[in-house]
Structure 1
């Protein structure tokens, strides 16, 4: 059976940086499922017309087409129940909390810190689209929005509950990683792939967790291409 994940790429097709796609890549690895991660760019909307969608991730699993990272994790649990990601009932509700926490608390702080690195990591043909769409969203230029000092302070505060949890457990889901970890860690992979910014102190429990996550599933995250690996790409 053919399984394809449409995965956002940057100025090099091997540079994959979408936090939402990273959630799915880790979830697939957790399930032991092989996938072709097919490169996709912001302006290639026509390539996703079959899914009636204009954003990634899009997972094609045989005859099934699933969009949205959280919906994909739920689909994987229904279709491949071994090694649950989110579980049912209260467990799934907890996973939904981590989804919203990552998207509404962590992502804005990271974005403010790495936005210009992100812009430079995007394929040149996508930069006009990215600038126009994000400046409309932020109500200011990328350069005006970019404030590493404010972003890092915001991130430090946002990480407090995560920090407290990780003082008592190796992973958000306990002794081993699962859906909650992947929902949050996708954003750390996003930052890692496009920027060399130090987001957290080496002494922070979150840093130790991030290192463990990088080594999960055969060092899936650690071996991923970073923009700093591309000669002449990082400014």
Structure 2
């Protein structure tokens, strides 16, 4: 069986920082599925022409081509039903909430903190594209978007729901991790790999959860290449 994951890389092929790709990496590990990874960069659109898509992650599983991190997680549950990620019915709908929470509450706060680090972590050939596309999206320059103090304040407020849950259980999905944890944790891997910024204090209940998530699946997150590991990063 051939299973391939196309995922975003930075200034080195081993620097993999996309929050959406990290969701899928953890989902595959959760299922115990091996995968060959193919580094991809923002400007390599033609490499994904076969998928009729211009973003990663893209998962190729035999003859199946699946795009979008959440759809990949749903596909994995259908194709490999053991060790569910999202479940079905109301459980799957709950997973959709965590997807939106990560993208609409956490990401806007985090990007104000890490945006300039992120620009430096991106391959030089991609930086013009990244700047132009993101400044168009946000309606301001990256320098204007960059506001660590404002981002930290936003993030502190956005993490309140996690704190409540993690004071009652070890993981967002209860006593063991599953889809909700991976949907949210992908954003923290984004920041961890692309930036040296500390987003959560050691005394925060979220910090203990982050430590547990980093150690999952043989230290998948903890052993990941980071910008601070790269000379000059």
Same fold (TM over 0.5): yes
Aligned partners of 1:45 and 1:19: how far apart in 2?
Answer: 19
In 2, the alpha carbon distance for the partners of 1:221 and 1:37 equals: 15
What is the aligned partner in structure 2 of residue 82 from structure 1?
82
| Cα distance between partner residues in 2 of 1:116 and 1:88 | 39
> How many angstroms apart in 2 are the aligned matches of 1:39 and 1:47?
10
List 4+ stretches of structure 1 deviating above 2 A.
none
Alignment of 1:42 with 2:42, yes or no, is yes
Structure 2 gaps of 5+ residues are: none
Calculate the aligned-residue CA RMSD, in Å.
0.4
C-alpha distance in structure 1 between counterparts of 2:47 and 2:159, whole Å: 37
Q: 2:132 aligns to what?
A: 132
Equivalent positions of 1:186-197 (< 5 A) are: 186-197=186-197
1:11 correspondence with 2:11? yes
Aligned to 1:152: 152
d(CA) in 2 for partners of 1:32, 1:15: 23
- The match for 2:69 is 69
Cα shift at 1:213: 0.1
Mapping of 1:131-210 within 5 angstroms?
A: 131-210=131-210
Question: What SS does the corresponding residue of 1:21 show, helix, strand or coil?
Answer: helix
Number of matched pairs: 233
Farther-moved stretch of structure 1 (135-144 vs 10-19) = 135-144
Residue of structure 2 equivalent to 1:219: 219
Where structure 1 has 5 or more consecutive residues not aligned to the other structure, the ranges are none
> Which residue of the partner structure matches residue 58 of structure 2?
58
SS in 1 for 2:27: helix
Aligned-pair distance for 1:204?
0.4
CA distance in structure 1 between the aligned counterparts of 2:166 and 2:104, rounded to whole angstroms: 20
For the pair 1:95 / 2:95, whether they are aligned, the reply is yes
Does residue 1:26 correspond to 2:49, yes or no? no
TM-score, normalisation: structure 1:
0.99
Q: Deviations over 1:33-91 (max 9, x none)?
A: 00011100000000000000000000000000000000000000000000000000110
* CA deviation profile, 1:119-157 (whole Å, cap 9, x unmatched): 000000000000000001111110111000000000000
Q: Write the distance in 1 (CA, Å) between the matches of 2:198 and 2:230.
A: 19
Which whole-Å CA distance do the structure 2 matches of 1:227 and 1:198 have between them?
Answer: 14
Q: How far apart are the structure 2 equivalents of 1:136 and 1:70? A: 25
